[in-house]
Amino acid sequence: MRGSLTGKILEEHIVEGKLSPGEEVLIRVDQVLTQDATGTMAWLQFEAIGVPKVRVPLVVSYVDHNTLQTDFRNPDDHLFLRTAAAKYGAIFSPPGNGICHQLHLERFASPGTVLLGSDSHTPTAGGVGALAIGVGGSDVAIAMAGMPYGLKVPEVVRIFLTGRLRRPWVMAMDVVLELLRRLTVKGGVGKILEYCGPGVSDLSVTERATIANMGAELGATTSVFPSDERTRAFLEAQGRGDAWRPLKAEEEAEYSDEVRIDLGELQPLVARPHSPDDVVPVRELEGLRIDQVAIGSCTNSSYQNLKAVAAVLRGRRVGCDLAINPGSRQVLYMLAREGDLADIISSGARLLEPACGPCIGMGYAPPSGGVSLRSYNRNFRGRCGTPSAEVYLANPLTCAVSALRGALTDPRGSGMVLHWPEEPKKFPSDAVIFLPPSEDPESVKVMRGPNIRPVPLGKPLEGTIRGEVLLKLGDDVSTDDILPAGAYVLPLRSNVQEISKFTFSRIDPSFPERARKAGGFVVAGRNYGQGSSREHAAIAPMFLGVRAVIAKSFARIHRSNLINWGILPLEFERDEDYEAVGQGDALELREVLKGIEEGQIQAVLADGRHLRLRAQLTERERKLLRAGGLLAYAKEKLT
């Protein structure tokens, strides 16, 4: 990575270790963001560590996921987050302000900074040249407490862009869909995607942010763009010109691999159910009947995107349900001020508040067996709130034109003439409300509703672990599969005992009860834990008695979350050993403490067969597991 933009930023922030791929380094963190679905637990963990004030230059606590207030639980969490931010030194973004990634891009993200966020789409800030990494809530909690972040140095892949997008109908989302088509959801695991080449200058900051956002679906650690004149223009328009600095890779920079994309050759693309990498040209599915369309989310809810959508809808009526969720109050204000909101409303579209909403199954679920077309980043089965629905992903203008027709439509054949909107010279910075931390933190009482429960802790690693294979799964199991989102489950994020009852509920409703009685193991194929950063997908299994997950490979964030909560992540050395294990088998892991030092664990089935399992752990990870997880380790370290 010598000479790369990634390497430059990491070198400025390294605290300990060497920048060699596969080695672990500790890096200094400049900014932290949390959101309410993960943030309540992160702040509870921060409190448990016992540090009186955040020790990071900037911490922002956003409310954007659990904004439905159907009972006391979500508003209680919001009040907890607001008072915790006031007391411990964070900025608070209240519900209705917008989605954390769009807001952070607008108001806080800066070139060359390291941002840690308790959300997998934190890499959105890579659009301005920040090194923005999504992690679990416990990693965020210890970062807020002042400890450096432990990162296994990824490979750096150069994504070399040439040409120009054929706007308006070919959009930034088609760039990342093309990458998903080529590389798959596993293609970015253990890698940082660094964008360069003459095509970069064709992309606005919000277009770059779209690409960086959805790079999370490739499994990438993060994605980063250079900071250039377009970056400066965006920051100056936001009233933050002093945050700009030029940043780019050296001409002779070294990369582990390269992918080249000619932007001028791209066409509108669509991801079919139920994976973001099942990508084909829209024209191949033209005419597919759709029941509903959703436009927005943290991927495609910027001013330019929604102004273009409004132009498509102007003077026309939708032919199916259409909902639009702007990314921020700033975007909504500008659409209202310039008359675009009237075009959206008169078309028959439904306007949702600036929040995550349908993307995480928080309202606007499709009908049973329905087809939903969305400009979002994920289409895992059931994530939308309806397990039998089929969700397709496409760019916002494909979605808008298709909403008018009631069928999937290649917008290039619509006959419409549409001019791509220019970037504003000035954004209204006063349209968004942020609450600063209290000037008298000692007087602030942190408010806790009855649903907010203490944080459970993992158990220190034992020499022998016995249990049952509670569940055997295939490849690409997502954190939505492990612990669903949605309006029924998300309000329980601050109550592990209650939320644990939904663990694997869509796959095997009997799992929670069986796990509580027997304890043991989960077995899976490749890329276990892809998708959301939700650490509850590790906390809940730990609470139920899962001591180890044995898989062919793991997604990065979830693997870290397992370790952070004292669950041992093991990998099969041979495919035949995965085939040999069955659900219900009794399994014993022997000499575990010795095995994690040597990198191999002795595993024996009840019939005497031995399995070869790898324990590829850094010294820091071994310390965490021996202590029972990151929280216990950090508390001991800091006190």
Q: Residue 633: its pLDDT value, please?
A: 87
**30 and 145, same structural domain?**
yes
Mean pLDDT of 39-66: 94
**200 and 87, same structural domain?**
yes
Percent of the chain predicted with pLDDT > 90: 93
**611 and 566, same structural domain?**
yes
Strand bridging mode 292-296 / 371-374: parallel
Domain that holds residue 47: 5-265
The answer to whether residue 429 is domain-embedded is no
Catalytic residue of the set 223, 532, 533, 553: 532
Please write the tens of the pLDDT for every residue from 161-172: 999 999 999 999
Please write the tens of the pLDDT for every residue from 541-580: 999 999 999 999 999 999 999 999 999 999 999 999 999 9
Is 574 in the active site? no
Is 64 in the active site? yes
The answer to whether residue 431 is domain-embedded is no
Please write the tens of the pLDDT for every residue from 346-374: 999 999 999 999 999 989 999 999 999 99
Please write the tens of the pLDDT for every residue from 604-624: 999 999 999 999 999 999 999
**161 and 22, same structural domain?**
yes
Does 55 have pLDDT greater than 90?
Answer: yes
**599 and 518, same structural domain?**
yes
**261 and 370, same structural domain?**
no
Catalytic residue of the set 107, 167, 374, 378: 378
pTM: 0.94
Is 291 in the active site? no
Is 110 in the active site? no
Is 65 in the active site? yes
Catalytic residue of the set 13, 65, 232, 272: 65
**193 and 341, same structural domain?**
no
**32 and 16, same structural domain?**
yes
**530 and 413, same structural domain?**
no
The answer to whether residue 432 is domain-embedded is no
Number of domains present in the structure of the chain: 3
The domain boundary, picked from 227, 245, 265, lies at: 265
Does 639 have pLDDT greater than 70?
Answer: no
Please write the tens of the pLDDT for every residue from 582-607: 999 999 999 999 999 999 999 999 99
Specify burial of residue 474 (Cβ count, 10 A radius: 0-12, 13-18, 19+): exposed
**287 and 405, same structural domain?**
yes
Cβ atoms within 10 Å of 70's Cβ, excluding its own: 11
- Token pair for 349: 């579209």
CATH number, residue 235: 3.30.499.10
**282 and 177, same structural domain?**
no
Catalytic residue of the set 30, 36, 77, 119: 119
Q: Which residues are within 8 A (CB) of 427 and not within 5 positions of it... i.e. 6 or more apart? A: 106, 237, 238, 239, 303, 330, 334
Please write the tens of the pLDDT for every residue from 372-383: 999 999 999 999
Catalytic residue of the set 4, 13, 30, 64: 64
**324 and 218, same structural domain?**
no
Mean pLDDT of 31-38: 95
What SS3 class is residue 193? strand
Is 13 in the active site? no
Per-chain mean pLDDT for the chain: 95
Sign of the torsion angle spanned by Cα atoms 405, 411, 413, 418:
positive
Catalytic residue of the set 534, 536, 547, 556: 534
Q: Residue 457: its pLDDT value, please?
A: 84
Q: Residue 459: its pLDDT value, please?
A: 87
